[in-house]
Chain A
């Protein structure tokens, strides 16, 4: 996840990877091979690319848009058609309804889904995403982020994602690169960035002083108090993937003393009370591991 203010060089860095910009010096490798070992078009066909406002080609049908890279790779027609339907299903657009439409006949969120499907078409091991959800409304954005997370969990591509939205970065990233004026100022997990910003620039950018943001980085399962005794039927329940921020919300809303953390089969695992949340919320942040697994589960070197 590349994070930073406008003009800090996030997009430039991204475009260096698929050689839309050429480096003046230095070396970039993707999957261990130098990106200059291949002709640029061949390299780009192996790297998925998604930009803001989808960048769909208005004169091509949805199926043609998604099939671009497979067509460039000279797959046969039947294989492309199958792949297109598969991808439309993956991004939640019924193929029968969508394949023959044109981009202008889709909403912004749907276009962005198609943009993602197009990038995934030839099953690239690396995805470059340049503020892909920057132009859609907040509700759609959250939904698309969740879907991206699911897709990533399933296929485990390396994703290089540009954003200026700290919420998005924290929500999706395994690791965040904070950039300023063309330089990397910090490279760490979202947790570390928020808890231990290297300077006041990073602290301001990520809102490190925002206690609720810090709470949103810690999952309840990391800090829960193991169960001692039975739990009441009316106590609020939370899934173990929920964050402390959710726990605080549940406490405030229900007026209960503690929330019960449950596993996927609704079995209680432990409890979280206000004291736990308070300890986690203090800046020194005692009581939880320094590098917990947050963001994408099943990460594979995604930045």
Chain B
């Protein structure tokens, strides 16, 4: 990157925007379209690098979401059904919510060895990022599952029993299907958060689209930054749209 070194040292602390503006002028970016063209060109010139990052990002996000659904959905079911454990579980989840994912990453970083022993089949840094993202996805899943299940009309549930359904049948045939739109809304929120936060995984060297963002920031290269940022945004929008469609699909039809 010739021509950058000269002002990086002096200006890095004064805000990325100003630097970016100067960079734009100096390197002759005429407009936003030019910047976007360069971004696209970078992707075209480094297809393997880009695909590798995209693949890591998607795998990390999907794995974290799946793991979170496995863990936290049953937890939400438990919270909705158990009046003693329920409230404290919800409080605990609310507490988790305030811990930043980045903090989880750095706090657990020294324990990579232990993580390697616990989860030997995954790369330890990947496993660590996975844990942090799974925890991040937890709160919306627990909260929505609990709320969705508890908001099903009690009269409908009693009626289901009155018709002769066993408690299991009442849950799987009536209560859960009726709560499903709210549960899916929780998954949607979690998915968007996970996709966006998976960028942080690059801080501990896992890779993913965050790598471009981190490099872009460090190198003051807006094009590189966008190589990461635009696909992350598109992925988040995609997750939002797809799950929104699923949500509408499972909602009982109105008049």
Given A59-B177, A105-B253: A20 touches B158 (CB 8 Å cut-off): yes
Report B-chain residues with C-beta under 8 Å of the C-beta of A58.
178, 252
B253 & A118 in contact (Cβ 8 Å cutoff): no
Distance in Å: Cβ of B169 to nearest Cβ of chain A = 7
> How far, in whole Å, are A190 and B164 apart by their CA atoms in the complex?
32
Residue A59 contacts which of B158, B159, B161, B178 (CB distance < 8 angstroms)? Answer: B178
Report A-chain residues with C-beta under 8 Å of the C-beta of B160.
57
Report A-chain residues with C-beta under 8 Å of the C-beta of B252.
58-59, 102, 104
Given A41-B166, A102-B252, A104-B252: A57 touches B161 (CB 8 Å cut-off): no
A45 & B164 in contact (Cβ 8 Å cutoff): yes
B166 & A51 in contact (Cβ 8 Å cutoff): no
> How far, in whole Å, are A237 and B213 apart by their CA atoms in the complex?
92
Distance in Å: Cβ of A112 to nearest Cβ of chain B = 13
> How far, in whole Å, are A44 and B163 apart by their CA atoms in the complex?
6
Report B-chain residues with C-beta under 8 Å of the C-beta of A44.
161-164
Please tell me if B204 contacts chain A, counting CB pairs below 8 Å: no
B126-168: which have CB < 8 Å to A?
Answer: 155-156, 158-166
Report B-chain residues with C-beta under 8 Å of the C-beta of A40.
161
Instruction: Tally chain B residues at the interface, Cβ within 8 Å.
Output: 19
Report B-chain residues with C-beta under 8 Å of the C-beta of A51.
155, 159, 162
Distance in Å: Cβ of A132 to nearest Cβ of chain B = 12
> How far, in whole Å, are A104 and B164 apart by their CA atoms in the complex?
23
Distance in Å: Cβ of B188 to nearest Cβ of chain A = 19
Please tell me if A189 contacts chain B, counting CB pairs below 8 Å: no
B162 & A102 in contact (Cβ 8 Å cutoff): no
Given A20-B158, A51-B159, A55-B156: A41 touches B165 (CB 8 Å cut-off): yes
Please tell me if B255 contacts chain A, counting CB pairs below 8 Å: yes
Report B-chain residues with C-beta under 8 Å of the C-beta of A128.
162
Q: Whose C-beta in chain B lies nearest to the C-beta of A72?
A: B164
Report A-chain residues with C-beta under 8 Å of the C-beta of B169.
41, 72
> How far, in whole Å, are A99 and B169 apart by their CA atoms in the complex?
23
Q: Whose C-beta in chain B lies nearest to the C-beta of A130?
A: B162
Report B-chain residues with C-beta under 8 Å of the C-beta of A274.
none
B253 & A49 in contact (Cβ 8 Å cutoff): no
A104 & B163 in contact (Cβ 8 Å cutoff): no
Please tell me if A218 contacts chain B, counting CB pairs below 8 Å: no
A18 & B174 in contact (Cβ 8 Å cutoff): no
A30-76: which have CB < 8 Å to B?
Answer: 40-46, 49, 51, 53, 55, 57-59, 68-69, 72
Which of B155, B158, B159, B255 is the most central at the interface, judged by chain A CB atoms within 10 Å of its CB?
B159
Residue B156 contacts which of A46, A57, A102 (CB distance < 8 angstroms)? Answer: A57
A-B contacts, CB under 8 A, total? 57
Report A-chain residues with C-beta under 8 Å of the C-beta of B254.
104
Distance in Å: Cβ of A36 to nearest Cβ of chain B = 16
Q: Whose C-beta in chain A lies nearest to the C-beta of B251?
A: A59
Q: Whose C-beta in chain B lies nearest to the C-beta of A68?
A: B163
Q: Whose C-beta in chain A lies nearest to the C-beta of B167?
A: A41
> How far, in whole Å, are A57 and B158 apart by their CA atoms in the complex?
12
Residue A72 contacts which of B162, B165, B174, B178 (CB distance < 8 angstroms)? Answer: B165
Distance in Å: Cβ of A116 to nearest Cβ of chain B = 13
> How far, in whole Å, are A199 and B233 apart by their CA atoms in the complex?
76
Q: Whose C-beta in chain A lies nearest to the C-beta of B169?
A: A72
> How far, in whole Å, are A6 and B165 apart by their CA atoms in the complex?
28
Contact with A along B244-255 (1 / 0, CB 8 A): 000000001111
Report B-chain residues with C-beta under 8 Å of the C-beta of A118.
163
Report B-chain residues with C-beta under 8 Å of the C-beta of A18.
162
A72 & B163 in contact (Cβ 8 Å cutoff): yes
> How far, in whole Å, are A42 and B161 apart by their CA atoms in the complex?
11
Q: Whose C-beta in chain B lies nearest to the C-beta of A119?
A: B163
Distance in Å: Cβ of B156 to nearest Cβ of chain A = 6
Residue B174 contacts which of A46, A49, A57 (CB distance < 8 angstroms)? Answer: A57
Distance in Å: Cβ of A93 to nearest Cβ of chain B = 17
Distance in Å: Cβ of A110 to nearest Cβ of chain B = 12
Given A45-B164, A69-B163, A72-B164: A55 touches B255 (CB 8 Å cut-off): no
A49 & B177 in contact (Cβ 8 Å cutoff): no
> How far, in whole Å, are A46 and B252 apart by their CA atoms in the complex?
28
B218-237: which have CB < 8 Å to A?
Answer: none
Which of B155, B156, B164, B255 is the most central at the interface, judged by chain A CB atoms within 10 Å of its CB?
B164
A41 & B164 in contact (Cβ 8 Å cutoff): yes
B255 & A104 in contact (Cβ 8 Å cutoff): yes
Q: Whose C-beta in chain A lies nearest to the C-beta of B161?
A: A20
> How far, in whole Å, are A174 and B143 apart by their CA atoms in the complex?
51
Task: Provide 5 A-B residue pairs closer than 8 Å at the C-beta atoms, listed in order of the A residue.
Answer: A20-B161, A40-B161, A57-B178, A58-B178, A128-B162
Ranked nearest first, the 4 interchain pairs of A and B with the lowest CB-CB distance are: A45-B164, A55-B159, A44-B164, A58-B252
Q: Which residues of B contact A (CB under 8 A)?
A: 155-156, 158-166, 169, 174, 177-178, 252-255
Q: Which residues of A contact B (CB under 8 A)?
A: 15, 18, 20, 40-46, 49, 51, 53, 55, 57-59, 68-69, 72, 102, 104-105, 118, 128
7 more contacts with CB within 8 A, not counting A57-B178, A68-B163, are A15-B162, A40-B161, A42-B164, A44-B164, A45-B163, A51-B155, A59-B252
